[in-house]
Amino acid sequence: MIDARIHASAGGAILFDAALAAQADEAWFDPAAWEARGLLEGHGGGRGRVTFVRAPFGACALRHYHRGGMVARVLGDRYLWTGMESTRSFAEFRLLAALRGRGLPVPAPVAARYRRRGVHYTADLLTRRIEASQTLAQHLREGRADARLLQRVGALIARFHAAGIYHADLNAHNVLIAADGLYLIDFDRGELRAPARGWQRANLARLRRSLMKVLNGAGPAGGEGPGGFEDALWTLLMRGYETAMEAA
C-alpha cells in the first residue's frame, strides 16, 4: 500500500511514498549524488534519459522529464505551470499508485518532484526498477518473440484497456518482459478513461507502428526478409488481445 505524502522542497515539492522513507530527500533526484555514493548502476535510453540507482529501499529508475518534437528546441525540459497536481511527475505518480492499487503490473512509484520557476516548471520521477527485464523491442530484434510471448503481450494490453487505462506512448520499448511476468512502463500523460473502441484501436495502431519500426531495422530475425514485418506476428498479438478482451 502506497502512503503518499507531500514534502515542500526548494522551489517546489516532492510527492513520495512514506512507507519507504520517513522523509523525502532532494538528493534522490540528483544522479551525481547517487554516483558519489557509489549507488549509480547505469543509464537507459528514451527522451528523458533514465538513471538506474540502488536506493536503500531497492533498485530504482530515475527519470527527468523532457519534451519531444519541435517544441523541445524551445522549451527543453520546461512545462507550463497549471497547478501542483497537474505537473507531469505528480500526475504519473498518482496514476501509477492507482494502477498498483488495482493490481496492474506497473512499476511502483517512489517519489515525484517538481521545481517551479515563474510560469514554468521542471519535473522528475523515481520509481522501483523492474530488475532482470528486457523490452519487447529487444526480444523482437533478437528473434525471441515467439507465439506464446506475443499472445501474452496482447493479453497484457487488453488487461489495461478493459480497465480503461490509456497509455499515451504504447510502444515496444515500454513493454517489459521479466521472470515474474510482463509489465507496462512510462505512464507520462496516461489517463483513466471509459473503455471505448475508438481510443483502444488508436492505442493498438500506435503499438503496431512501433513494432514495424523495430522489425524494419531488425534484419532477418524481424521477418521473412531482411527488415521485414510479418503480419503473422501482429495476428498472434491480436489473438491474445481479443481473447483477453472477450474474457474481461
Q: Where are the domains of the chain?
A: 4-128, 134-247
In this prediction, residue 74 has a pLDDT band, given cuts at 50, 70 and 90, of confident
Sort 44 into a burial class: Cβ within 10 Å, 0-12 / 13-18 / 19+: middle
CATH of 134-247, one of 3.40.1030.10, 3.40.50.300, 3.30.1490.100, 1.10.510.10: 1.10.510.10
Digit-coded pLDDT (tens) for 139-172: 999 999 999 999 999 999 999 999 999 999 999 9
Q: Which residues pair with 43 in a beta bridge?
A: 51
Catalytic residue among 3, 124, 146, 169: 169
Question: What percent of the chain has a predicted confidence (pLDDT) above 90?
Answer: 85
| Host H or E run for residue 33 | helix 31-36
Digit-coded pLDDT (tens) for 91-118: 999 999 999 999 999 999 999 999 999 9
What is the model's pLDDT at position 70? 76
What is the model's pLDDT at position 218? 58
At residue 83, the 3 state secondary structure works out as coil
Q: Which residue type occupies 213?
A: K
Angle between helices 231-247 and 147-162 (to 10 degrees): 40
Active site residue 169: yes
What is the model's pLDDT at position 75? 84
